[in-house]
Amino acid sequence: MRHLKGFTLVELLVVIAIIGVLIALLLPAVQQAREAARRMQCSNNLKQIGIAVHNYHDVYGKFPSAMMLDQARLAVSSCPEGKCGTWTWTAFLLPQVEQDNLYDLLQVGILPGEVSLGDATRLAAAKEGFDGYRCPSASGPDQNTERKVPSGSGDSSADCTGSGCDAIALANYVGANDSNTLDRDNWNGFMAKDTKRRVFTFADMIDGTSNTIAIGERAYKLANRTLRAGTQLVANGDTANHSRQGHSYITAGGRWPINCTNSQDCDRGFSSNHPGGAQFLFVDGSVHFLPETIDHDTDSAVDSVYEYLICKDDGNPIGEY
């Protein structure tokens, strides 16, 4: 009688076990390789933003403001949250990142932000945004439902949660505002709003462009904490009567440690979905990964390495980070 050869049950189980071990060994390596590629793309995004910031300075003789308030309206009233939409640094840089068509369509700086978004075509474009303002490693929706902005008539609530507000494109990059909390009047970092026509140039980077953070990352969600990321193009209004709503959409402070998740106010700091830290664009155009363990404290004094890097003119030696 002819006998057919084949695998025994034991041999089959051994093969399956070997395959399982190989998958267990290779899967983390594959995931690490994918994250390395995403982190590299994020770094490239920041480098392109850095080139855009320098080109903006070449054209206008200054760095972009974090947000542009409607100066005529501000002179007679205010720019209240829920009603007023402010143009932001991501909008001002559109021509420098080869997004001239979007810049022209939105009429950046010509129309108030909420008026521009009151048009259906412009609103759709703002919802689409620009991919270069998103980190490939980041989670979160395409439109930032956590930070809505006024469109058309706006809404009566400061948080802009009603029908007159819309979610537009999410951003994972925010400007460095102050070494401590967010500050609308006397910030010591790279950018803030231009209420007093206060703008900075290379000459203002007293500590050196290679020692000063310009822009960093913010995640939408990290661990169990919703950090809300930022918005592209337009932010909510910003007045002294509320908790700097608009500022928190587009800038960050150094009071909160990198990847902070222990407070609801962590959504005003820097964070990322990269393991162990976040990436930062420095004023000289270089990009650095700063670890969560960087020297940091929460008091108002500029007395830690993290704060030294955010403050543009503290005069302290940086050392290793």
pLDDT the model gives residue 8: 78
| Contact of 57 with 201, CB cutoff 8 Å | yes
pLDDT the model gives residue 71: 59
| Contact of 280 with 271, CB cutoff 8 Å | no
What does each of the 321 residues of the chain score in pLDDT, given as a tens digit?
555 566 677 777 878 888 888 777 777 766 777 888 999 999 999 999 999 999 999 999 999 999 887 656 665 556 788 888 999 999 999 999 999 999 999 999 899 999 999 999 999 999 999 999 999 999 899 999 999 999 998 877 878 888 889 999 999 999 999 999 988 778 999 998 776 667 799 999 999 999 999 999 999 999 889 999 999 999 998 776 555 578 889 999 999 999 999 998 999 999 999 999 999 999 999 999 999 999 999 988 999 999 999 999 999 999 888
Residues in the chain: 321
pLDDT the model gives residue 74: 60
Distance CA 136, CA 222 (A): 15
251-253/173-178 β-pairing? parallel
pLDDT the model gives residue 108: 94
pLDDT the model gives residue 168: 98
pLDDT the model gives residue 75: 58
Hey, how many other C-beta atoms are within 10 angstroms of the C-beta on 320?
A: 6
3-state secondary structure at position 309: helix
- Residue identified by tokens 């001239």 is 100
pLDDT the model gives residue 9: 75
pLDDT the model gives residue 51: 99
- Residue identified by tokens 């940091």 is 296
3-state secondary structure at position 89: helix
pLDDT the model gives residue 157: 80
Hey, how many other C-beta atoms are within 10 angstroms of the C-beta on 62?
A: 14
3-state secondary structure at position 153: coil
pLDDT the model gives residue 18: 83
